[in-house]
Structure 1
Amino acid sequence: MSFLTHGRIIGGLSTTPDLEGALADYRDMLGLAVIEHGALDADLAASWGCPASAGARFATLASVSGAPCRLRLVEQPLPDDFMPTRSYGWAAYEITVQDVFGWPDRLAGSGFEIVGQPKEIPGLPYFVAMQMLGRGREMVYLNEVREDTPTSDLPRAAAPVDHMFIVILAAPDRARTMRWYADHLALEEGGTYTIPYSMINTAFGLDAATLTTISMAQKGRMPIVEVDDYPAQAIVRGRAAGALPPGNALVTLAVDTLDGRGLDFLTPPQPRTGAFYEGRRAATVVGPAGELLELVEIA
């Protein structure tokens, strides 16, 4: 079966104030391969509603596993007041890896800041994850999968660092967001959990026992978007006029068709070239949490 099925994560985009430094981290430290680089096309930037990002330097990276899932880095200034995990929108990208306990030592001296050491969680034998921030304050989870969950199939890494398999969305209204993904993208609820979420509690200075409700939007047994109910203290993510959001900026998903979804695209769908598109039609929409969501037609 093809990797690119409806709902599959084709990739994510993160902004960075230092593209060369970010490449030293993602390419040289994590071992991802650069497959595309250049200046951001003005028409593509406009399709994201970000015309001011036209001409920005970018690079696209992929795992040496060969999985057709990409990470795009776009260079732009980092706002002084941007703090990760405190605003609505894309909060993190989760990547399947091998030997997660070895990664903190391997990343010593890099531009990554480890904010959550890998640890086993009692009662959750399915995976072990660690959390880190890149130079653009983008959040990345490295996740060693050990077994499938009762409701989803989790990908084992075929390389030391493989592909993105879950994207995490910070939402002001989790239930409404889940309905939007069901209504417009035909994604299903794979489970809802209420947990003490340490990353959120730390970011907002909440008691460690404070509970957060999260839901997984998935297709069949494939997890896609984790939707987190953020606390009332969360804010709308600020960004420069016409520019990409800072940090985790945009997610690209595969869809079987762009037609008949009732979506208000920022610009009309059109075929695009490059590693993310390969001649397929693509268009971008603003989701219910303010997230930039690019959809690529695979039918």
Structure 2
Amino acid sequence: MTISHGTILGGLSTVPDLEPALTGYRDVLGLELVEEGMLAEELAASWNCPANTGSPYAVLRPKSGAPCWFRLIEQPAHPHFKPTTTYGWAAFETTVEDVWHWPDALPADLFEIVGPPKVLENIEPAFIPMQALGTGREMIYLNQVLGDLPDTDLPRAASPVDRIFIVVLATPDRNRSIAWYCGRLGLTRGADYTLPYSMINDAFGLSPDTQTTITMVSEGRMPIVEVDDYPVAATVRARHDGMLPPGNALVTLAVRDIDACTVDWIAPPSVRDGALYEGRRAACAIGDGGELIECVEVG
């Protein structure tokens, strides 16, 4: 299978208890469990989270076989973490076959629905989004794709819940973050959209008609990172010393040539085995918004 430069290979979320989270992703969302274990010291160090060494983890994949892995890592919840109010990864957007199935299918003890399915305003209705929080307060969008945008191809789901096709980044400086991904990873700035963003407005207690500008960072017609303007009240995400950020913690992207990425790696690129890596070179960096962004070389 050919994997394109910029493909989202995975999203990693932290959860306070791995077992119920695994029940949610495997038994409810229908993803396939492909690997379990304890986080290796070298990998934890490469993410700048040495205190996560030995943390239980699980890796899941869509039944479609798409090259996208959902990783869950157990660590204590942080009392000051509130979703959609801090900088870093804000959400992972997945493509689903039937968005209207999910409001009644998500158990309340495993998922909190924060945005029921609705048709977006001010942009072409290419998909119907729905938002839910998992047990680690990680945000997952369940989007049913209806069609493509004028400059963007959106993937149709080939399993009930399929791949992550957009990752959402909250950043203190949208243009600077866009420049980071374009200049350092060789991606392309896409279109801007301005719309009432209910997740942000609700989180900050803003008027429902408050407008937010978002920009897509892409590779050709493939969307990758949605970079969102955040209100001035947004803050740096609180986290335990030496551990991953709570919630949506880390994103992994495919790159053609890891040596061509002009970033400061936390640790030098090295060959990694197991699910997602499959013997490829990988390294992790900290983006301009403080987010953890891991790159895996696909040639």
Give the structure-2-normalised TM-score: 0.98
Once residues 80 and 47 of structure 2 are traced to their aligned partners in structure 1, the CA distance between those partners, rounded to angstroms, is 23
Once residues 249 and 125 of structure 1 are traced to their aligned partners in structure 2, the CA distance between those partners, rounded to angstroms, is 29
SS in 2 for 1:119: coil
Once residues 284 and 244 of structure 2 are traced to their aligned partners in structure 1, the CA distance between those partners, rounded to angstroms, is 13
Kindly indicate whether residue 224 of structure 2 is the aligned counterpart of residue 224 of structure 1.
yes
CA shift, 1:3, in A, is 4.5
CA shift, 1:276, in A, is 1.3
* Contact 2:96–2:143 (8 Å) recurs in 1: yes
Kindly indicate whether residue 43 of structure 2 is the aligned counterpart of residue 44 of structure 1.
yes
Which residue is 1:83 aligned to? Answer: 82
Q: 1:107-122 alignment to 2 at 5 Å? A: 107-122=106-121
CA shift, 1:109, in A, is 4.2
Partner amino acid for 1:114? I
Consecutive unaligned residues in structure 1, runs of 5 or more? none
Once residues 32 and 104 of structure 2 are traced to their aligned partners in structure 1, the CA distance between those partners, rounded to angstroms, is 21
Which residue is 2:5 aligned to? Answer: 6
* Contact 2:78–2:246 (8 Å) recurs in 1: yes
Which residue is 2:212 aligned to? Answer: 212
Once residues 202 and 130 of structure 2 are traced to their aligned partners in structure 1, the CA distance between those partners, rounded to angstroms, is 15
Once residues 249 and 206 of structure 1 are traced to their aligned partners in structure 2, the CA distance between those partners, rounded to angstroms, is 26
SS in 2 for 1:125: coil
Which residue is 1:182 aligned to? Answer: 182
Consecutive unaligned residues in structure 2, runs of 5 or more? none
Which residue is 1:233 aligned to? Answer: 233
Once residues 276 and 42 of structure 2 are traced to their aligned partners in structure 1, the CA distance between those partners, rounded to angstroms, is 15
Partner amino acid for 1:17? P
Which residue is 2:61 aligned to? Answer: 62
Which residue is 2:134 aligned to? Answer: 134
CA shift, 1:121, in A, is 2.8
Once residues 124 and 191 of structure 2 are traced to their aligned partners in structure 1, the CA distance between those partners, rounded to angstroms, is 14
Give the structure-1-normalised TM-score: 0.98
Once residues 201 and 158 of structure 2 are traced to their aligned partners in structure 1, the CA distance between those partners, rounded to angstroms, is 33
Which residue is 2:281 aligned to? Answer: 281
**Residues 278-287 or 117-126, more deviating:** 117-126
Once residues 168 and 20 of structure 2 are traced to their aligned partners in structure 1, the CA distance between those partners, rounded to angstroms, is 25
Which residue is 1:53 aligned to? Answer: 52
Partner amino acid for 1:285? A
Which residue is 2:29 aligned to? Answer: 30
CA shift, 1:18, in A, is 1.1
SS in 1 for 2:125: strand
Which residue is 1:17 aligned to? Answer: 16
Which residue is 2:290 aligned to? Answer: 290
Give deviations 1:142-167, integer Å, cap 9, x for gaps. Answer: 00001001010000000111111100
* Contact 1:31–1:63 (8 Å) recurs in 2: yes
Once residues 136 and 110 of structure 1 are traced to their aligned partners in structure 2, the CA distance between those partners, rounded to angstroms, is 12
Once residues 159 and 235 of structure 1 are traced to their aligned partners in structure 2, the CA distance between those partners, rounded to angstroms, is 37
CA shift, 1:110, in A, is 4.4
Q: State how many pairs are aligned.
A: 298
SS in 1 for 2:218: strand
* Contact 1:177–1:288 (8 Å) recurs in 2: yes
Once residues 4 and 76 of structure 1 are traced to their aligned partners in structure 2, the CA distance between those partners, rounded to angstroms, is 31
SS in 2 for 1:271: strand
CA shift, 1:12, in A, is 0.6
* Contact 1:3–1:68 (8 Å) recurs in 2: no
Which residue is 1:244 aligned to? Answer: 244
* Contact 1:98–1:160 (8 Å) recurs in 2: yes
Sequence identity (%): 58
Which residue is 1:259 aligned to? Answer: 259
* Contact 2:9–2:67 (8 Å) recurs in 1: yes
* Contact 1:50–1:242 (8 Å) recurs in 2: yes
Partner amino acid for 2:227? V
* Contact 2:34–2:61 (8 Å) recurs in 1: yes
SS in 1 for 2:184: helix
* Contact 1:8–1:254 (8 Å) recurs in 2: yes
CA shift, 1:262, in A, is 2.0
